């Protein structure tokens, strides 16, 4: 989830729907799109949430989509679990 529409590729506006945060506050979903670099790894179906101040990433949802997530001291690497791809064609650094 993000509150920054400029991060999304192919933004589609949504009418209706909310997300509930851990503190039971809610944010209104205003759109959905993809995040990533065209020709590189794309994270699909990222929600655009009104007023969200920080980007939120679900590691378990990424792993469920077949992606590999590796944490290092200064970065988080998200890559395709398909070993046939080169690191350059399937890695996203956050």
Predicted confidence (pLDDT) per residue in 14-61, tens digit: 988 999 988 999 999 999 999 887 667 888 889 999 999 999 988 998
Segment 60-90, tens digit of pLDDT: 988 888 888 889 888 888 888 664 444 444 5
Note down the domain range covering 27.
5-93
CB 9, CB 35: distance < 8 Å: yes
Spell out the residues 6+ positions from residue 3 whose beta carbon is closer than 8 angstroms to its own.
48, 49, 50, 51, 52, 53, 54, 55
Rounded to two decimals, what is the model's pTM?
0.76
Three-state DSSP class for 52?
Answer: coil
Our count of domains for the chain comes to: 1
Spell out the residues 6+ positions from residue 52 whose beta carbon is closer than 8 angstroms to its own.
1, 2, 3, 27
């Amino acid at each position: 989830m993000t509150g920054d529409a400029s991060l999304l590729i192919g933004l589609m506006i949504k009418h209706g729907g909310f997300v509930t945060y851990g503190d039971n506050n809610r944010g209104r979903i205003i759109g959905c799109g993809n995040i990533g670099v065209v020709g590189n790894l794309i994270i699909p179906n990222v929600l655009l949430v009104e007023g969200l101040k920080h980007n939120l990433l679900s590691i378990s949802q990424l792993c469920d989509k077949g992606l590999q997530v590796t944490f290092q001291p200064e970065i988080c690497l998200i890559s395709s679990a398909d070993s046939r791809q080169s690191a350059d064609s399937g890695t996203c650094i956050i």
